[in-house]
Structures are given as structure tokens and as C-alpha cells.
Amino acid sequence: MTKLVIEGGHRLNGAVHIHGAKNSALPILAASVLVNGECYIENCPDLSDVAAAVAILRHLGCHVQREGHTVIVDASGVCRGDIPDALMREMRSSIVFLGAIAARTGGAHLSFPGGCELGPRPIDLHLAALRQLGLHIREEGGCLHCHAAGRLKGRAISLSFPSVGATENILLAAVTAEGSTTVYNAAREPEISDLCAFLTACGARIRGAGESTLIVEGVEALHGCTHRVIPDRIETATYMAAAAVTGGSLVLKEVCPEHVQSVLPFFEEMGCGITPWRGEMLISAPARLRRVKTVRTLPYPGFPTDAQALLMAMACVAEGTSVFIETIFESRYKHVGELMRLGARVKVEGRVAVVEGVEQLSAAPVECTDLRGGAALVLAALTAQGETEITNLYHLERGYEALAESLQGVGAVLRVEK
Ligand code: EPZ
């Protein structure tokens, strides 16, 4: 089994280029199904989740090619509306294809995406909203059999929770529906705004991107476009945390400082100096981090759940005790057991985790439990004494392009052993 071996104790210094946002590229790739023409999606990260989305597009009849970080999708040949179970299982967020496939082909057949390491991952909000837009959905045998009698019809939809995925599915179903759709309590994440920007470039009519009320005026058809995916704010936070745990300083290039405003105060509370400057950001860390009093994960613009594990890795070696409250997912502490193998002192009670910082972590063999939990193990290994061996690297490959190379480029001492 391939493992990443990291020798801890080396300060990181230098510059890291941030890639395009995974959680923006995925819904934009799904949205390209709606376009009877070519879309040039620039700054598209080279990740296994993106490869899974491309496999679905090709299965549906799209022609897809990658030229560096530009993915070109021609969906004029879309000829089917089913996603095989194997492809659905490869990436549970493939549910975001449902709205686009149904709107484009008048029906959709796909298996329930199932849960993942973060919990059952229900899709009730997606299905309720799509039914309100006129999609008939029959749930049978672990599959969703959907059909629309004619064009979907726009209407007002209120979400009980600002679900990112449900907001995306509604947008993809509504942009070519008949009439107007208003989404109340919509998600406000930057990835939603980026999806709206892509759809608008294709001729969609959307107001309120980034706000909690979205208004979509349905149009007859969408045309091709060229769109550049926004920088990945969670990858940005990951490299910020890498500088923080090693007492180093990094220049992060091609970032969007505005999108990480929700994490900056926590890094500063822990003693980091951060200077956003145009499309770059400089972060420098203290010799030893201070504890963070309370980190409560919230929908954007609150502290992002995807950065919880990253900050927890920092808290493990900070001076003092930090408290985490995970309000978004019901079981997003799978990384705690592995951090404790490295000597971290963490107590979990339900959605609360209390972290008592220690002077020094020590190397041990650990395995990634999920994407961001795996990133937390990499961060902990960067500061642990000795060589830490990390396995189950496929979790990391879902969301980080060239992670090992980028870290090596700024002074990390690591190797990949096949
Ligand atoms: C997106 O997941 C991201 N994934 C997640 O990033 C991110 O953690 C999450 O948004 C929150 O920001 C992608 O964009 C591909 P939600 P999503 O719908 O859309 C509950 C990563 O690490 N819920 O906002 O699934 C749900 O169970 C990943 O890159 C329902 O109850 O998030 C969860 O508790 C992990 N019913 C909460 O809402 C529904 O129908 C947030 O889910 C839908 C969601």
C-alpha cells in the first residue's frame, strides 16, 4: 500500500500556488450537461473527484478533454440520463448531477449516493425541492427513478437548512425551467456564487448570488462559455495551517483572501500574522501557537466545517485548551483517533471536541479517515518528532492536487513509498 512518510520538525518557507476549488469545479462540471455546446472550464484542479465527474459526463454522452488545467466539455451529444451505481459510489456528491440531467433529458435514473465517512449524508432537501419544481421521483431499490412531464416549472422554494448541494441542484433544475424560481435560505458559499457566474456566462438569468435569497428566471436554452474556477479556499486554509504548525511562513499565490475571511480571525487568535495582498497572502507563524478558545462550524460566512480538522491539528500543539463544536456534520471527528496515535490529547463528546495542546507530537503509523481528516494528519506529521507514515492516501487525492510536491517545495522532508 502506498504511504506518505513525513519527517516532522522542519519549518516551511516559500511560495505555494493554490489550485481551483474542487467544490466549485464539481457543480460546474454537472452544470455543463445543460449546455448544448462547448464549455471551457479553466483552473480546473486535477483531482480524483474531478476525474469521477468527467467519467459521468462521458457516460452521459458528453465529449470531454483536458488541456492542462482547462477542461473542455461538449454536451451537445448528451444521450442518456442514468448514472451507474459504480460511478455514483465513486463520489457521493454526484447527486448534484440530478437536477442538470433531469432538466436536460426530462428524466434521470441514479442510485442513492449513500453515506460517507462524515455520516449518512441525506438528500431529502434535494428531493423535496426538485419535486416542487415538477420532477416526479420514485425511490425504489436504492435507486431514484425520475421523470418530468414536460419542462420543469419554476416556483418559490424554502430550504430548512442552507444546504450547499441542495442549492446547487435547485439552480441546475431552475435555470432552464419555465418561469421564475425563488430560493429562500439558499447557501451562500463562494462556490455557489461561482456556479451562478458560470451559469450566467452560459446565458442563465440569476439574481442574488452569494445571498440567502436567489431568484432564477428560466431561459429556453444555455450556450457555451469560458469560465475560470475560483481558488480553493479550503486548500488555502490547509497551507496556512501547514505554515502555522511548523512555525514557518508561506506566500500563498492565486488565492482569494475574501473567501478565507471566515478563518483568518482564528489563525490570528492562535498567533499567526496574515497579510492579504492582491491575489496573494502571506502567513507567518509564532514559535508556538496559542489555543483557540472556541471554533464553531457554521454555514458560510461562518467558520467552514471543511477547515475544522485543519484547525484541530494546529490546536493539538498549541499552548492551552481549545474547544471545537461541529454543527454541520454529525460525525466529523473520525480523524481524532488517528491524531491521538500521534500523542494528541482530544476528548470528544457528541459534536464537541476538547483539545488540550501538547508541546510535541510523536511519529506513529496513521491512516486517513476522510479528505480533510487526512489533511489534518499531514499537518500533524509535519510537526511530530520522527517519521510519520500515512496510508489510505486516496482520501487526499480526492481534494488535493500535488500536495506532497507542494509541501516538499517549501521545505517539508517527505517521501512517497509505493
Ligand atoms: C458540500 O457538501 C461540500 N461538498 C462539503 O465539502 C462541505 O463540507 C459541505 O458542502 C458544507 O459546506 C461539495 O461541495 C462537493 P450540505 P454538501 O448539503 O452539499 C445536511 C469536502 O471536504 N443535509 O450543505 O453535502 C447534511 O447531512 C466536502 O470537500 C440534509 O440533512 O453539504 C449536513 O449535515 C465534505 N439533507 C448538512 O446538511 C439534505 O438534503 C450540510 O450539508 C442535504 C444536506
d(CA 276, CA 257): 6
List the beta bridge partners of residue 399: none
For the stretch 303-356, pLDDT in tens is 999 999 999 999 999 999 999 999 999 889 999 999 999 999 999 999 999 999
Domains, the chain, ordered by start: 3-19+231-417 (3.65.10.10), 22-228 (3.65.10.10)
- Res 24: pLDDT: 98
- Res 1: pLDDT: 84
Q: Are 72 and 115 in contact (CB under 8 A)?
A: no
- Res 114: pLDDT: 67
- Res 277: pLDDT: 82
d(CA 16, CA 239): 8
- Res 90: pLDDT: 86
* Residue nearest to ligand 1 atom 28, measured at CA: 306
Q: Are 16 and 43 in contact (CB under 8 A)?
A: no
d(CA 59, CA 55): 6
d(CA 360, CA 37): 56
Q: Ligand 1: does its nearest atom lie under 6 Å from the Cβ of 93?
A: yes
Q: Ligand 1: does its nearest atom lie under 6 Å from the Cβ of 372?
A: yes
Q: Percentage of the chain surpassing pLDDT 90? A: 92
Burial of 277 (0-12, 13-18, 19+ CB in 10 A): exposed
d(CA 65, CA 67): 7
* Range in 24-33, 49-58, 90-99, 370-379 the model is least confident about: 90-99
* Residue nearest to ligand 1 atom 14, measured at CA: 23
Q: Are 61 and 137 in contact (CB under 8 A)?
A: no
> Which positions ≥6 away from 158 have C-beta within 8 Å?
183, 184, 185
* Residue nearest to ligand 1 atom 38, measured at CA: 163
Residue 164 Cα, ligand 1 centroid: separation in angstroms?
6
For residue 73, give the nearest of 89, 56, 90 by alpha carbon. Answer: 56
Q: Ligand 1: does its nearest atom lie under 6 Å from the Cβ of 122?
A: yes
Q: Best mutation site among 24, 56, 121 for ligand 1, i.e. most ligand atoms within 8 A of its Cβ?
A: 121
Q: How many CB atoms lie within 10 A of CB 382?
A: 29
Q: Are 246 and 283 in contact (CB under 8 A)?
A: no
Q: What does the angle CA 100 – CA 176 – CA 111 come to, to the nearest 5 degrees?
A: 20
Q: Ligand 1: does its nearest atom lie under 6 Å from the Cβ of 166?
A: yes
143 in catalytic set:
no
- Res 415: pLDDT: 98
Here the cell at position 295 is 471554533
For the stretch 220-230, pLDDT in tens is 999 999 999 99
**Of the listed 39, 116, 143, 316, which one is catalytic?**
116
